[in-house]
Structure 1
Amino acid sequence: MPSTNGHRYFLTIVDDKSRFTWIYFMKCKSEVPNLIRKFTALINTQFGIEIKNIRSDNGREFSMNEFYDKHGIQHQTSCVETLQQTGIVERKHQHILGVARSLIFQSNLPHCLWNYALLVMCPFNQ
C-alpha cells in the first residue's frame, strides 16, 4: 500500500558495528543507486569515514559495480535463501515492521500512514 507521500518501499541501512539504522523511503526500487550514492557522501562528509563494505541481497538495484570500484567499496552479496548472511538487517527490518504494524493497529490509524510509524523507529532519517 502506498504511503501518504506515494512511497511503496523503504531501504534499511544498518551499521555493522554500532547497529545505527537509517531508513530511506522510495517510490520505486530504481531509486536505490542514487540513495546509496547520497548515503556514501553523507557518511564521508559527516563522519570522515570511507565505507569499506556494502552487504546486500542479490537485488538488481544494488548492481553499481562502477561506483563501488571508483570508491573502493567491496560489495558483498548473500547466497540465495540464506538469511543468516544478512541476519542483522533482516532482524532489524522485521523489528521495525513489527513495531510499525503494532503502532498502526493500536492507534486505529489508516494503513497509508505506515511511513510515519517507521519514522517513530528511526526518527533521524528521511
Structure 2
Amino acid sequence: MKLFLILGAANAAVAVMLGAFGAHGLEGKLSERMLEVYKTGVQYHMYHAIGLLAVGLLAGKLTGSGQLHWAGWLMFIGIILFSGSLYALSTTGISKLGIVTPFGGVAFIAGWVLFIVAAAKGL
C-alpha cells in the first residue's frame, strides 16, 4: 500500500504548509473565531495524514488489509470533506459550507473503526 504512504506524506506536507499560511498569511485577515476554525482543519488534516501513514505501514503486515484499504480511503475522503470544508468556510465566510463538515467527520470515524477491525483481524 505504497499509495497510502505517499498520500500520508503528501498530506502531512500540505497540512504543514496550510498551517504556516494560516499562522502567517491569515492572521489579522480572519476573525479569531474563523482562525480557530481554520486551525481545527489543519489539526485534523495532520492527524489523518499520520493515520494514512499508519495504514500504509501496516497494510502489508495485517491480514485484514481489505478493511485497512478502506480505512485509508475514508481518512483521505475525510481530509477533503472535513478539513477542506473548514478551510473554505473560514476563508470565505460562506457558512453553508459547514454542512459538508459532518460528512468528513463520519468518514474519519468510519476509517478509524475499519482500522480497528483490520488490526483485530490481523493480530
**Structure 1 and Structure 2 fold alike (TM over 0.5):** no
Higher relative contact order (CA 8 A, sep 6+): 2
> Which interval holds the TM-score relative to the shorter structure?
under 0.3
Q: Which has the higher helix share?
A: 2
Question: Could you tell me the TM-score, scaled by structure 1's length?
Answer: 0.24
Q: Which has the higher strand share?
A: 1
Question: Could you tell me the TM-score, scaled by structure 2's length?
Answer: 0.24
